[in-house]
Amino acid sequence: MLAQHRYAVPVTTRRHTFWQRTHPAELHQRLAEGASLVIDAIDELHEPVADLAQHLESWLRTHVQVNAYASWSAREGFGTHWDDHDVIVVQVEGSKHWRLYGPTRIAPMHRDTAEPEPPPELPIADLVLEPGDVLYLPRGWWHAVRSLHLTCGLTPHTGADLIGWLSEMLRITEQVRADLSLHTGHDAR
């Protein structure tokens, strides 16, 4: 995480609202030094991207959040990593290099019981995406990239989600809301 003072300055408005004003020259310098620009939930800021998210949600029947990632240096912004959700990548600008390593843990989760093993040293695929190309990555697939692209994060539905939903639905019943006795035998509990 890059400290805000490296690319922005604090400003207080006439209404005493505090915010950060970005200095374009400083931001460009940080990007040239290898920083990555990340705009989370860009689908809430840009109507054409919102349309993309809505179409994907309708087609795939799951929540979609679109993030924008931009890096201009030879370094990967996040190194080799995996995501805890499926992603659809849309290459926006430039021809960019992607290295895919595959999964090392089946269906990893954000709050998991174990960390996946590190990826193999050599990728299983070495791709160059051109503007307009689309790439699907299942959750847990290790990858490394440097580019300007949109990542459409698909919220997976898991057994843990079903158990959580069932727990919420059962709260309507008095038996589930009732206190559990602390002084009964094992069979009664």
pLDDT at 32: 83
Identity at 126, one-letter amino acid code: D
pLDDT at 77: 63
pLDDT at 3: 85
CA distance 47 to 61: 20
pLDDT at 181: 79
- Cα distance between the two ends of the chain: 49
pTM, 2 dp: 0.72
Query: 13 exposed, middle or buried (CB, 10 Å; 0-12, 13-18, 19+)?
Result: exposed
Per-residue pLDDT of the chain (189 residues; tens, 9 = 90+): 788 888 888 888 888 888 888 888 988 898 888 888 888 999 999 999 999 999 999 999 999 999 998 877 666 667 899 999 999 999 988 888 899 999 999 989 888 888 899 999 999 999 999 999 999 999 999 998 866 788 899 988 889 889 999 999 998 888 888 887 777 777 776
Phi/psi-derived region of residue 123, left when phi > 0, alpha when psi is between -120 and 50, beta in every other case:
beta
